Chain A
Amino acid sequence: MSAPVAIGVDAGSTTWKAVAVDAEGVVVASLVEPADPRIEEQTARGLLALRAQTGAPAETPVGATGYGRKLVVASRALTEITCHARGAFTRMGRAGVLLDIGGQDTKVIRFGDGGEVQDFAMNDKCAAGTGRFLEVILARLRVSYDEAAGAVARAVKPVTVSSTCTVFAESEVVSLVARGEPLEGILRGLHQALATRVASLAGRVPEGRPLFMSGGVALNRAMVQSLGEALGRRLEVVPSPQLVGALGAAMSVLA
């Protein structure tokens, strides 16, 4: 393992992520934890663990991103938009359009040949179409992401879930279950509803531009598939999609 020279922290709304990278931008260690509202404490604890694991000295520069970025003691704090673009570019090595579905934000980021942000769009003030939407409803149905992926694949046909509002969709799903609709079909309908919502945000993605996906929701295979269907395009999931923001933050402080 080569020595880490930079650390990136992504203090998101749902999860806290950190990576340590070597001089080539290769991730040598990483941590993912559920987000603690006491961001400063969580960061101090997490960084200590990461340093202990990798032997990184205390003065290793830290780049921060995510909603809690300003509460992280860091050499540099940048938005998730800039960091996800940089992280995805580091991993994929070419320009493209990135869909990042995080806990409470869905972003569509167009970045250029140097990983620089050219344009971006985000969901509005409502959390419909974000990771939280799936999380709340899957929890309500007591289904894990992995189970959901399997169930969606098995579904014969989707049951339409018309609401993309997290609160209303939850009650809609409960009444669908009560009506005896098959769980697989409901789950597929849910994924489709979310995918349609994100696809409308993505708007027209120019042909010929590779389409990438990052964020925790990219770990959900069923969602990746539904999104691909909604967009009519193949999606490439950036490896370790949950760590892309933290990787970008680390790259921003890499000398």
Chain B
Amino acid sequence: MISRRVQYELAGRVVGPALMALQGAQRSLRGRRPRPDGPFGPPLEAGRKLKELMTVQYLQGRYADGAVPVAWATSGFPVEALRALGFYVHYPENHGALCGARRQVPEIAGVAEKAGYSADLCAYARTDLGSVLSSVTPVGRVPRPDLLACCTNICQTVLYWYRALAEHFKVPLVLIDTPYNYGEPKPHHLAYVKEQLAELVQAAERVGGRRLDSGELVEVLERSRQGTHLWRECLATGTRRPSPWTGFDGFIHMAPIVAMRGTEECNAYYRLLKDELEDRVARGVGGIKNERYRLLWDNLPIWYRIRELSTSFAEAGFNFVCTTYTNAWAETADLIRPEDPGGSGAEAYSLVLLNRDLPNRLRVMKGLAQQFGVQGAVLHSDRSCKPYSIGQLDLKERLAEEAHLKVVLLEADHADPRAFSEEQVKTRVQAFIESFA
């Protein structure tokens, strides 16, 4: 146990940073590669730090089991109590996104499909289950969980997915069930979620083998609130013209707010990113070189086509200056009140975008369109994410009529390229671009 703990600490504090420093040194010895004459502005310097942060996070994860308690959590899980109890938290969805970006999903998800999981299931679920069954992962090794932490505020699939994990690993599953909000949240719903948060603490204490220090919880909550706030400030720089980055940059740089929320490393990273973005605003440096039109993106990114899609839009002078997905991680910052962990936690985690109705979604989209000054919107109808994709035909009509936006629907999948039809997407994108001429 002690040696495992030493390995874990060394991986996070010494080996990871040293490896990254070595890579950095090699890069500077080779000299900076000239940037191809593409449509984008200079790359964000913070990108290197991000890579380092996520690499170290996953490297440390390799040695986490046996050293500290390990939880696997859904992206929308109220993670603060787990952090305060010293858990290492692994995010299967973030891991799935990584597999998607590395185009490894067909291989890994294929294992789950062979084991009987339907190809109609979310690609993140299939990728995670496939990775569990085959041990194939782009990060070397994923730590075995001691606790599974599932919150239904993002979808109902997670419930069945995490039950399958609980069955496989024979470890406890804590479920935070957040009733869907039609209109404003109902007090008895919030009370119900608050009760579950209290039960979560008890379960996590049992697994973690120690009592929760309420002072530590308040600190983590405060860091979560600050981190979410900083992320929101980063996103807000997109309101400037030109926007100092692209919505697709945002998809990459959202990793810490999803997977490291509540940690000081996360907040330090967003301070760095915010400074750089604000500096770019001051110097008039854009995410793309020639920003002629500004767009809104709805739903998850198409991880395996980010580069190609952003390039075809950027070449024609279109920049995604805001996305509902990155915004979802910045929306509930003000709801977290460290002095009222249960009550404010119930509110903050119940009122996430995907747990609210379509009128709210339309309101959020119209708000973003106005705040960021966009002329059009691309709605990604994501085969994997049904709760995010349902209602998009109506949203398309309403956005066109009420916000006077040009809107196009792209059918794809956030992680599984087998549900992506290259030529059809290209035609839609090009026709959408032509319609602005």
Contacts and interface: CB of A to CB of B under 8 A. Distances in A.
Nearest to A200: B393
Interface string B124-165: 000000000000000000000000000000000000000000
Contacts, number: 45
Name which of B381, B400, B428 has the most chain A CB atoms within 10 A of its CB: B428
B403 to A, nearest CB: 13
Query: How many A residues touch the partner, as a band?
Result: 10 to 19
Contacts of B437: 116
Interface residues of B, number: 20
Contacts of B407: 119
Given A81-B434, A119-B400, A119-B407, A125 B427 contact: no
B419 A125 contact: yes
B409 A82 contact: no
Nearest to A66: B427
Interface in A75-109: 78-82, 105
Contacts of B308: none
Contacts of A105: 424, 427
B423 interface: yes
A165 B311 CA distance: 34
Interface string B221-234: 00000000000000
Interface of B is mostly: helix
A232 interface: no
A212 B393 CA distance: 22
B223 to A, nearest CB: 43
Interface string A114-135: 0011111110110000000000
A208 interface: no
Given A121-B409, A125-B411, A125-B424, A82 B419 contact: no
Given A124-B411, A125-B411, A79 B427 contact: yes
A203 B434 contact: no
B85 to A, nearest CB: 45
A67 B424 CA distance: 9
B431 interface: yes
Given A81-B434, A124-B411, 7 more contacts: A78-B434, A79-B430, A81-B427, A81-B435, A82-B434, A125-B419, A203-B397
Interface of A: 67, 78-82, 105, 116-122, 124-125, 203-204
